[in-house]
Amino acid sequence: MQRRGAISYDSSDQTALYIRMLGSCVIFKQLSARDVRVRSRAGFETERRGSHPYIDFRIFHSNSEIEVSVSARNVRRLLSFQRYLRSSRFFRGITVPNSSNILDDDYNGQAKCMLEKVGNWNFDIFLFDRLTNGNSLVSLTFHLFNLHGLIEHFQLDTMKLRRFLVMVQEDYHSQNPYHNAVHAADVTQAMHCYLKEPKLSESLTPWDVLLSLIAAATHDLDHPGVNQPFLIKTNHYLATLYKNTSVLENHHWRSAVGLLRESGLFAHMSLENRQLMESQIGDLILATDISQQNEYLSMFRSHLDRGDLCLENANHRHFILQMALKCADICNPCRTWELSKQWSEKVTEEFFHQGDIEKKYHLGVSPLCDRQTETIANIQIGFMTYLVEPLFGEWARFSNTRLSQTMLGHLGLNKASWKGVQREQSGSGDDVDPTFEEMDSDILPQEPRLS
């Protein structure tokens, strides 16, 4: 069988020459191997720009040479940072008494007002993104670092922190309807809400909070807008690299580590602490692999049944943070209808776009991706029934607070709303997408984040 997609290298000069997709030879861009992956002194390989996670669908339309400039993305990132340098009095050399005052110069009044309520569950991340001119992830995460006292506690250089966050935001693909920087900001805001819950706030260390916010902000870093089965059936470089296992999550993690090292944000820490941080961030991000949902949920349920969770135990705290990030990642059905509906439409648009490509090039349409046979309502009801309700039911057992009851309340109302839409469309409210009954990674898309 002919390989349908791969990156080829010249072994003599270690230069990436071209990418083959679906049997067609397409010239991609000459890239130095050091742009593909960087090995640290400890032997840990990070993913960097140039590792080609991005699926440029133009390659399906022409056999002519296509230039996809990685350097252009670097320039955009640099210009974003330069814009920040020009706009901020802080970086023009004017002394600021404390880091929180940076916000005074960089946010307009409405955005600053919103940040004062960043712990509210009805926080409108779409409005905040508009108020910050598309910089919601940078603005919100920087604010949370300051709010939690992480800048002072870890003696972070605010310029390096800002640079790191700008790089993270730039490495999300704005053309993705769902898996973009706004989703990352939304997940980070949800994670902040969970960190404030009494059981967690009383037990977590600054280290735990630091890991949680970084993992939330980077959990879908450099997402290509297609799921794991698509990468596997097109023999994508990343699928080969990670042996078809948690392909996207591994890439998000390694990309995050690459940006942490590039920014030098924690260069003042010992090598041992930096390596521990990288490993634990990986544990958190890898937990968002939806194909591992049953495994994590079973462990969570068993702990709750036995009543043996002890948050004084660092391992137990880390496990709870994994569960918190899983909740934050798929919490959209637990938001208000106005917010939840927008997320539902966006993720379905992304799924259907993948399905259109698969159909056009006879790749076999992935489940949930066929716009001719699927509807938003059916997908959402199945998602809520088989994934969201079980997870948030157990979370409410762990943390039975007003927030948990609010989330379950929104979940019930949103499911009822989608059932109403479903009845209007089909005349029956009993059609639930059976896809979600199977938790096989070959069947269920790896990264549904369906609402």
What are the tens digits of pLDDT across the range 82-113?
A: 444 444 444 444 444 444 445 545 557 899 99
> What range defines the domain where residue 427 resides?
337-437
Nearest CA among 432, 376, 438, 358 for reference residue 177: 376
Domain termination residue (choose one: 329, 352, 377): 329
Element (H, E) at 169: helix 158-170
Top pLDDT among 14 and 147 is at 147
For residue 445, being part of any structural domain is answered with: no
Q: Are residues 375 and 297 in the same domain?
A: no
Q: Kindly report, residue by residue over 250-303, the tens digit of the pLDDT.
A: 999 999 999 999 999 999 999 999 999 999 999 999 999 999 999 999 999 999
Q: Are residues 433 and 316 in the same domain?
A: no
Quote the CA–CA distance of 125 and 123 in Å, as a whole number.
6
255-289: b or e for each residue (b if 16 or more CB lie within 10 Å)?
Answer: bbbbbbbebebbeeeeeeebeebbebbbbbbbbbb
What is the count of structural domains for the chain?
2
Q: Are residues 313 and 357 in the same domain?
A: no
For residue 451, being part of any structural domain is answered with: no
Domain of 68: which CATH number?
Answer: 1.10.1300.10
Q: Are residues 376 and 424 in the same domain?
A: yes
3-state secondary structure of 94: coil
What pLDDT score was predicted for residue 48?
57
Please state the φ and ψ torsions of residue 220, each to the nearest 5 degrees: -120, 30
Find the mean pLDDT for residues 353-375.
96
Confidence at 73, pLDDT banded by 50, 70, 90: low
The reply, when asked if residue 153 is annotated as ligand binding, is no
438: tokens are 């199977």
Quote the CA–CA distance of 54 and 19 in Å, as a whole number.
12
Bridge-partner residues for 20, per DSSP? 6, 25
For residue 359, being part of any structural domain is answered with: yes
Q: Are residues 74 and 173 in the same domain?
A: yes
Q: Are residues 103 and 130 in the same domain?
A: yes
User: Is residue 169 packed enough to be buried (19+ CB in 10 Å), middle (13-18) or exposed (0-12)?
Assistant: buried
Q: Are residues 22 and 155 in the same domain?
A: yes
Tell me the one-letter amino acid at 276.
L
For residue 448, being part of any structural domain is answered with: no
Domain termination residue (choose one: 299, 329, 359): 329
The reply, when asked if residue 180 is annotated as ligand binding, is yes
Residues 6 or more apart whose Cβ sits within 8 Å of residue 78: none
The reply, when asked if residue 143 is annotated as ligand binding, is no
The label of the residue with tokens 């966050």 reads 165
The reply, when asked if residue 122 is annotated as ligand binding, is no
Q: Are residues 282 and 373 in the same domain?
A: no
Question: What residues are annotated to the active site?
Answer: 179
Find the mean pLDDT for residues 424-441.
60
For residue 446, being part of any structural domain is answered with: no
Confidence at 448, pLDDT banded by 50, 70, 90: very low
> pTM here?
0.79
Find the mean pLDDT for residues 63-72.
45
What pLDDT score was predicted for residue 41?
42
What pLDDT score was predicted for residue 436?
60
Q: Kindly report, residue by residue over 105-123, the tens digit of the pLDDT.
A: 555 789 999 999 999 999 9
Lowest mean pLDDT among 22-26, 175-179, 187-191, 284-288: 22-26
Find the mean pLDDT for residues 407-429.
91
What pLDDT score was predicted for residue 108?
73
Q: Are residues 272 and 181 in the same domain?
A: yes
The reply, when asked if residue 179 is annotated as ligand binding, is yes
85: number of Cβ within 10 Å: 14
